[in-house]
Amino acid sequence: MDQNKMIEGIRLFLEGAGATFANGHLDETPKRVARAWAGELLAGYRSDPAEALTWTATKDGGGPVLVRDIRMASVCVHHLLPFFGVAHVAYVPATRLAGLSKIGRVVEMLARRLQIQEMLSDQIADVLDRVLEPHGILVMLEAEHTCMTLRGARKESSRLVTLAARGTLEHDLAARGEILQLLGRRPGG
């Protein structure tokens, strides 16, 4: 990332918004903002989530594995405003079991990019599918988007729910229903 371009752009943005640098309060703001965006908010561009996903070999035939309530935060590509919530990730292992904390890292790495929630769900499912080669995957994201709660419609506490499924959890509605029940959700509800 080119932080110098970011600093220049942030300074121009602030000036365009009518902010003044005359009193000294904003002098360091462009650097702080660029550092926060490059170092934290968009840190996912610096890593490959597939490389972070470690696994252990296992025998085929186990039941579903479910990781609930993985906290996540991202930035909407349309308005550059944050969205935040939780990810629920389930998979039916074939011969690979994921390192438990690594699933959270995959979610974090992909969320720390400019995103659209629907695409984020698919990206998480795709990485897990490619690396773990499971029988099935289901990724559910629930997030509050500040582009909807702070501007536009201003519908506070509304949440977007997205679902991405692969393999048996894409085609077998009974298996998908079992996972949704474990999540405390009813299919279609």
> 83 is written with which tokens?
């969205």
pLDDT at 22: 83
> 91 is written with which tokens?
């998979």
Distances (CA, A) of 48 to 31, 34, 43, 95: 26, 22, 11, 22
Considering the entire predicted model, what is its pTM? Answer: 0.90
- Cα distance between residue 78 and residue 85, in whole Å: 18
Run means of pLDDT, 10 residues per run, the chain, 189 residues = 94 93 89 95 94 93 91 95 96 94 97 97 98 97 88 75 96 92 65
pLDDT at 185: 58
Nearest partner of 103 among 88, 115, 81, judged by Cα: 88
Nearest partner of 134 among 125, 142, 143, judged by Cα: 125
pLDDT at 189: 44
- Cα distance between residue 155 and residue 147, in whole Å: 10
Which residue carries 């996540």 as its tokens? 72
Q: Spell out the domains of the chain, with CATH numbers in brackets.
A: 3-41 (no CATH), 52-182 (3.30.1130.10)
pLDDT at 73: 97
Q: Which residues pair with 98 in a beta bridge?
A: 55
Tell me, letter by letter, the H, E, C secondary structure of 43-106: HHHHCCHHHHCCEEECCCCCCCEEEEEEEEEEEECCCCCEEEEEEEEEEECCCEEECHHHHHHH
Residues found in the chain: 189
Helix (H, G, I), strand (E, B) or coil at 155: coil
Nearest partner of 80 among 125, 33, 12, judged by Cα: 33
